Amino acid sequence: MQTIIGVMGPGEQATARDMQVAYELGQAIATAGWVLLTGGRPVGVMAAASRGAKGAGGLTIGILPSKHREDAADAIDIAIVTGMGNGRNIINVLSSSVIISCGLGAGTAAEVALAIKTGKPIVLLNLSEMDCRFFQNLASYPLGIAGHVEDAIALVHQFLSLTSG
C-alpha cells in the first residue's frame, strides 16, 4: 500500500507565499516517493501542491467536495468524488498517514482539528506562533512545527518511522 501525505491549506484565500510553499512541498513529497492527497479543488494550496507533485513525477489524489470530477484541479491524477461538501474533510484526514498544514483558512483549521481529534501526526508549516499554540493546546501529543519545506519533510520521515516502527 502506498504512503499518502495530506497537504491542507487555503483555497481562494491562499497567499502567493502559501502557493509557492505548497508547490515546493508537493515537489518534495513526490521526490520522497509518497503520494500527495489534497482537497482537490482547482485553487490555492490544493492546486499548487498538486502541480508541484505532478511536475516531480508523483501521483496526486484529490478528494472533491463536489459531485463532478470535472471540478478537480488540472494536476490531479485520481479524483475521488464525494458530493459531500465539507463532509469530505474527515476523508482527507483519515486517508493520510501524516497531515501537513500549509497556510491556514477556516477549512484548513477544521482539518487540523479533526486530525488532532483522530490522533494523526501533524506538521504545521509556516503557521504563526499563536496558531501553533492554539492547535498544540488542543492536542495531547506533540505536533510538528516547521518553518521550511525541508523541515516539514524531515518531520514526516520521523513520524512515518515512529508509526511503522
Q: Which residues bind its own copies (CB under 8 A)?
A: 1-2, 4, 35, 61, 63, 67, 69, 72, 76-87, 89-91, 94-95, 97, 104-107, 109-111, 113-114, 116-118, 130-131, 133-134, 138-139
Sign of the alpha-carbon torsion through 105, 108, 109, 110: positive
Q: Residue 112 CB, nearest distance to its own copies (Å)?
A: 8
User: Which residue number, 12 or 16, has a Cβ lying nearer to its own copies?
Assistant: 12
Q: Would you say 96 or 149 has its CB closer to its own copies?
A: 96
Cβ proximity to its own copies: between 47 and 72 the closer is 72
Sheet holding 98-102, edge to edge: 78-81, 60-64, 35-38, 4-8, 98-102, 122-125, 144-146
Least distance from C-beta 59 to its own copies, angstroms? 8
Q: Which three cell numbers stand for residue 72?
A: 478537480
Nearer to its own copies (CB atom), residue 117 or residue 148: 117
- Minimum distance between the CB of residue 137 and its own copies, rounded to whole angstroms? 8
Cβ neighbour number for residue 92 with a 10 Å cutoff: 27
Q: How far is the CB of 49 from its own copies (least distance, A)?
A: 16
Spatial separation of the C-alpha atoms in residues 58 and 137, rounded to whole Å: 34
In b/e form, how buried is each residue of 130-146, taking b as 16+ CB within 10 angstroms?
Answer: ebeeebeeebeeebbbb
Identity of the residue, 11 or 154, whose beta carbon is nearer to its own copies in the bound complex: 11
* Residue pair 11/45 in contact by the 8 Å Cβ criterion: yes
Q: Which three cell numbers stand for residue 94?
A: 483519515
Closest CB 87 distance from its own copies, rounded Å? 4
